[in-house]
Structure 1
């Protein structure tokens, strides 16, 4: 019997169990994982890891130990095994369908293990056929046997890691041993799987009408306008053999929320999106979709409402059913909300102890003039202002009407089938066409003037340097390209000087960014980590490199390298559904000809040395310059 398959099933089902515990009322577990496999060299191990609430460390250890004992005593259930077998087989089937079109990066780890440990490297067809043959023969007894073999006291190590923090109560070794002895003798009930009777299904007796349609033959893109104000853009492809990408968007977002409910509104998409639909919790929804290639998530960001999804052709209708329900029947799940809220609190609780977090947070405050919506949310804000009813009401308000939404489908679908499904599931979404959705300018602006800031935090002998040039512009896509290309050039030159010539940094980040939302602005950004004593000379070198670009532009070699990289990136992008989806969205928003997606050399023919010289003199504006440096607290200045 293949040991690997049995261990994969055991580990996967245990992770699913732990995920349920994370959602229990007053759970001490923020997140968890588990596994069974190689440890060091030829040694193997079984592990369970958890991130625990600081005020419930002892309870958290007890919960994890108790679940181990439950597995040992009672094992898993047939329904759990059936679901996870379906998950493994479907994953293998997906790779089998997409063989020849899978990016090479997905094979790197397997090749490393093959070279290092002589692990097999079987290929997609062999793996799928192997799973298809072997999985049905694996019994529940095979799985449960592992629990009895591995959940033992002999050789058990329990390791607690926590920040050095006043008032934090860490259980002693003796306390942990007492917990273990107590739990081993407890009467622990078996797990009950309550999912069996739930399903994703709705009845829709009518369908919406398409009131306008067009077709672009050159790029094989159809566009339909539904009577409820939804726009659908559809591009069938064979770029992936059986995958469909869905992207939905509309202007609006949390910008429409009052400051008083901002914290709840900002997180409404993620909270309600993870709460499930149709009285099926998010975790139950995940289980129901095991064995299927399907995902769908709603989002609410500052200035948009969004959907992101993917499926196979077989599961397309299921994905659209879920989309319909995220509009019409989302859940308000108090357990999911409390779990999400506690994770957010835990994620910010020790921000003041982490030098990198302090550094980034301070930069956010400086750059946005300490604007409420431009700075990270604090532990206190989450605790006092994040409210489920408020988040749910804001979500329902934003998704009460689908008018103005655009949905882009790219992938291996039948166009006529997509049209019929769209009329049924999208064309019947509620719509208020008397109100047009748009984002609101919330007054978030970047700081002006020259500002130099030094932050003392931490004891590690390193410094971080962050440099930003910002300003306003008359935004166009051509200027966006110019700023982005200038970032590419700066990255090349700073890498040559700071890393290769001076050996002062391991790496350097440099980029250019611009947008027209909520106003027309740009940013040139440089960041690197270095030894504290080298920071000044490296900053001076940055200024020298920028001055040189302003004076001389770019060398012919660098111009050629940048253009070739951009062209190759576009050529490669045309092979993927997500690239097409992103470009079609840009064309729809900015009203440019989508046929230009194929003309990836457009606007690059004018790029020369003078192009970069002009851009550098425009966008490296010394009047708006922010320099922030992180240095250790114990550094003798």
Structure 2
């Protein structure tokens, strides 16, 4: 289960906020704090903006007599599916001292036995209905809330009704069997173990400071190990009784169903929960304000780089009236513009930091924050902090420019327009999240139609002065907090509290106004002379058309109506870095990255971004090991611009030495920090990668010395070589288009691509996972935690039948290992099994089994894993597990076949592998061939003599 904040809360998360690329379709939870008294501000608000924010009329909201709230909305995307949630307005913040971690523990217990679903029957029942545990069925516990997530099919009346029974059971019928509690202790302790490391150790030091010793500082949802190990069942019962009650609960249902029937089911089932007389008050815990600047400088021997975050905390203000909606739009524009400026700093020949941002967004509890975040280059805190704060101060002193604001408005309006166009194709999960936020925080969901109209009415009226004023509201000396996280080895190099304070207070000296540099030239100085379609082939069974243009370019088209405003595309050609010697490898593998960072034609990357303002276009060239190509996405309106970019990446790549120099400089600094203070997981993954790649030069980890081998001129030449001949490229287009409309554009731009008609293919480098039995142990890390990876590999006969058997075997084994290693042994939090197979460059398969655990349990859990594999080899998979695999696969396919991304990936793979593109239609036939006997044969074939055991073990304490 994915626990919100349960493990490893990152500072970067604390500062997230809206961007111009993501439309705020609902009313904001918060607006900037006001500098004037409320009455004075209210007096200046036009009467029309004093109106309350209109709640989306498409959702039915009700409340039962016992106090439970429900939200119901009909939505047909995806078809025959529903997203259900049980939301509990209670989390770790409400735990007593002896309950720390039990809000989260209780969430685990909801899957381990209820009145109508004993023990693990919830998971088993849903898996047999096609709902995957973890990927679909899930839950999360935060400081203030617990959310149960249940996506289910709606075309089975029995299953759909049972899903609501599960929600009701979670609400008041969790059995909390003492035996099950004792079994689950180990699972929760393993989850806690998985989150331990440098981040967790440093967080324990800085949290009390930046949260001003509020209750949030000592109520992390994961809790305390000693309590998890030793609490009495009645202590857990007490939390369940106190806080799982109808007045603190909401049921959310969005999907393809009859609203009236769903309301009836909810009323029937959840009215059975008795109201609580004299309930405990649901206390809201504040984060106390402070006049001073809180500074936390923390180090750790496993922290690889130096990170600085400066936070200006502010009280949240909930959006209630239309004025608040307008204020939120200003904040989105502010974040977009300052984000663009900071991004430009990384385009310099010597960037001042490895990465950074400044924005305004939610913080924690009752707080918002304006946050600036940087990863210092070469550990230079002064330079990184000065650069980011100077950029903030530049906005404060000089403001944004009219041209910046105009672009931000265009980009945001475009994003909202797209959301409006896709209003009938919006997935149910998006709506669910809005209603969860309304219940928990009072955010008011509005319809996209209302929001689109509101934006068109008020966006133009927002002036550059309106947005510029926000900086003065955001950046203050009160409620300011600074956190520096750095490697232990650099402790003596770090500035003192006094020096940090001086650095912040003295920022912004001697600045000049930002100059908005743009370029006013056509993207393509000369339009290409195209070539027409020379031949056409129809594959009617999957509604695909193949065109071959006169210049040799092949185009595969699948028009769909899955999205109203989306066209996605890709292109591929055999070759890639495999065609170059090891001497040229580093230059080859960075060639497409350097080309894209440089821009195209007369436009550098920054200017290109400005030129594309107001358009939805993304085009990226790539060079892989066995192929090169293009990936991209756009809309019907912007398709021509996208194709112009494709043409330019083939014919007019740039070599921007400043950007390239800065990029390589930052990459080298990052690699040096990783090498100087390697994390245990980094060392382990590098070892795994190297060993499985037989220590071939091209499978060894990237190092600063290897990065020095990148020759910019050679990289430029390799890029041009890879894209010099379009005759062996195949392009794929999937989305909302008509062939007759797209044809002239395809003929003009793809038909105009250069061709030399060379004949080439990829080269098999002979890199294979080593054969035989191999064991490798990496000893690294100070936490008592181990990582296990078991790998089986070998030659493979590439057929759809064999691929399906591997998929089935992997799923059956994962189900069985979850039952045994997690539920029976209580030894792991999660276990993953993947079965992979490839045709190119050679027909090979790989099975990987991975889990984390306590060091003392490694041998036992590996033995249990191998015992389960042996059972598969003797008896085949459990028929029940096979049926779960089939149900999950069929349900997944029902959704995937209505997704553009699936079809683009599927078609490009089928064509590159020279496989039948109609193979997808054989799925039912292939699934019928999966039986206990077939999985027995597969287990004996694929779990063979080539076995590698890789372990990460902690260092022995002296």
TM-score interval (norm. to shorter): over 0.9
| Aligned counterpart, 2:524 | 201
Q: Deviations over 1:50-87 (max 9, x none)?
A: 11202532111111121111111101011111111111
| Counterpart among 670, 695, 709 of residue 370 in structure 1 | 695
Q: Distance in 2 between matches of 1:368 and 1:104?
A: 42
2:638 matches 1:315? yes
Q: Distance in 2 between matches of 1:62 and 1:393?
A: 38
Q: Deviations over 1:354-401 (max 9, x none)?
A: 00010010111111121011122112211x212322211110111111
| Counterpart among 176, 179, 183 of residue 507 in structure 2 | 183
| Aligned counterpart, 1:484 | 807
Q: Deviations over 1:330-374 (max 9, x none)?
A: 111123222322342244334342000100101111111210111
Q: Distance in 2 between matches of 1:160 and 1:198?
A: 44
- What 5-or-longer segments of structure 2 have no aligned partner? 1-322
| Aligned counterpart, 2:186 | none
The equivalences for 1:287-326 within 5 A come to: 287-326=610-649
- What 5-or-longer segments of structure 1 have no aligned partner? none
| Counterpart among 510, 519, 522 of residue 845 in structure 2 | 522
| Aligned counterpart, 1:498 | 821
2:744 matches 1:430? no
| Aligned counterpart, 2:290 | none
| Aligned counterpart, 2:268 | none
2:447 matches 1:123? yes
2:387 matches 1:59? no
8 A Cα contact 1:265 1:391, kept in partner: yes
The equivalences for 1:118-517 within 5 A come to: 118-165=442-489, 169-184=493-508, 186-195=509-518, 197-204=520-527, 206-352=529-675, 353-382=678-707, 384-433=708-757, 435-517=758-840
The change in CA–CA distance for 1:440 and 1:593 in structure 2 (over 3 A counts) is closer
Q: Distance in 1 between matches of 2:414 and 2:523?
A: 19
TM-score, normalised to structure 2's length?
A: 0.64
Higher mean Cα deviation, 129-138 or 501-510? 129-138
2:419 matches 1:91? no
Q: Distance in 2 between matches of 1:586 and 1:105?
A: 29
Q: Distance in 1 between matches of 2:528 and 2:570?
A: 26
8 A Cα contact 1:30 1:339, kept in partner: no
SS at match of 1:192: coil
| Aligned counterpart, 2:270 | none
Q: Distance in 1 between matches of 2:471 and 2:866?
A: 61
SS at match of 2:494: coil
2:944 matches 1:631? no
8 A Cα contact 1:490 1:511, kept in partner: no
8 A Cα contact 2:839 2:913, kept in partner: no
Q: Deviations over 1:8-40 (max 9, x none)?
A: 111111111100011122122211112113323
The change in CA–CA distance for 1:43 and 1:586 in structure 2 (over 3 A counts) is closer
Residue 107 of structure 1 and its aligned partner are, at CA, apart by: 4.3
| Aligned counterpart, 1:50 | 374
| Aligned counterpart, 1:29 | 353
SS at match of 2:593: helix
Greater C-alpha radius of gyration: 2
The change in CA–CA distance for 1:588 and 1:277 in structure 2 (over 3 A counts) is same
8 A Cα contact 2:422 2:563, kept in partner: yes
Residue 198 of structure 1 and its aligned partner are, at CA, apart by: 4.5
SS at match of 2:727: coil
Residue 611 of structure 1 and its aligned partner are, at CA, apart by: 1.0
Q: Distance in 1 between matches of 2:416 and 2:571?
A: 28
Q: Distance in 1 between matches of 2:770 and 2:506?
A: 59
Q: Distance in 2 between matches of 1:191 and 1:366?
A: 50
SS at match of 1:270: helix
| Counterpart among 547, 550, 568 of residue 873 in structure 2 | 550
Residue 211 of structure 1 and its aligned partner are, at CA, apart by: 1.9
8 A Cα contact 2:349 2:659, kept in partner: no
8 A Cα contact 2:544 2:558, kept in partner: yes
Higher mean Cα deviation, 147-156 or 329-338? 147-156
2:882 matches 1:567? no
CA RMSD of aligned residues (A): 1.8
Q: Distance in 2 between matches of 1:274 and 1:191?
A: 22
Q: Distance in 1 between matches of 2:456 and 2:521?
A: 26
8 A Cα contact 2:781 2:954, kept in partner: yes
2:329 matches 1:5? yes
Residue 474 of structure 1 and its aligned partner are, at CA, apart by: 2.8
Residue 45 of structure 1 and its aligned partner are, at CA, apart by: 1.8
Q: Distance in 1 between matches of 2:428 and 2:487?
A: 39
8 A Cα contact 2:779 2:952, kept in partner: yes
Higher mean Cα deviation, 597-606 or 493-502? 597-606
Q: Deviations over 1:522-543 (max 9, x none)?
A: 1110000001111111000000
SS at match of 1:159: strand
SS at match of 1:604: helix
Residue 41 of structure 1 and its aligned partner are, at CA, apart by: 2.3
SS at match of 1:183: coil
Residue 181 of structure 1 and its aligned partner are, at CA, apart by: 4.4
The change in CA–CA distance for 1:196 and 1:351 in structure 2 (over 3 A counts) is closer
Higher mean Cα deviation, 96-105 or 77-86? 96-105
SS at match of 2:699: coil
The change in CA–CA distance for 1:437 and 1:120 in structure 2 (over 3 A counts) is farther
The change in CA–CA distance for 1:205 and 1:166 in structure 2 (over 3 A counts) is closer
Q: Distance in 1 between matches of 2:505 and 2:940?
A: 71
Higher mean Cα deviation, 577-586 or 355-364? 577-586
Q: Deviations over 1:186-238 (max 9, x none)?
A: 23110010115244234326221322111223322211111222100111111
Q: Distance in 1 between matches of 2:398 and 2:709?
A: 42
8 A Cα contact 1:46 1:150, kept in partner: yes
8 A Cα contact 1:75 1:144, kept in partner: yes
Q: Distance in 1 between matches of 2:568 and 2:927?
A: 29
SS at match of 1:268: helix
Higher mean Cα deviation, 454-463 or 217-226? 217-226
Residue 103 of structure 1 and its aligned partner are, at CA, apart by: 3.1
Residue 319 of structure 1 and its aligned partner are, at CA, apart by: 0.4
Q: Distance in 1 between matches of 2:496 and 2:913?
A: 61
Residue 123 of structure 1 and its aligned partner are, at CA, apart by: 3.2
Runs of 4+ in structure 1 over 4 Å off? none
8 A Cα contact 2:350 2:665, kept in partner: no
| Aligned counterpart, 2:920 | 597
8 A Cα contact 1:248 1:308, kept in partner: yes
Q: Distance in 2 between matches of 1:31 and 1:146?
A: 24
8 A Cα contact 1:480 1:515, kept in partner: no
The change in CA–CA distance for 1:415 and 1:458 in structure 2 (over 3 A counts) is same
2:929 matches 1:579? no
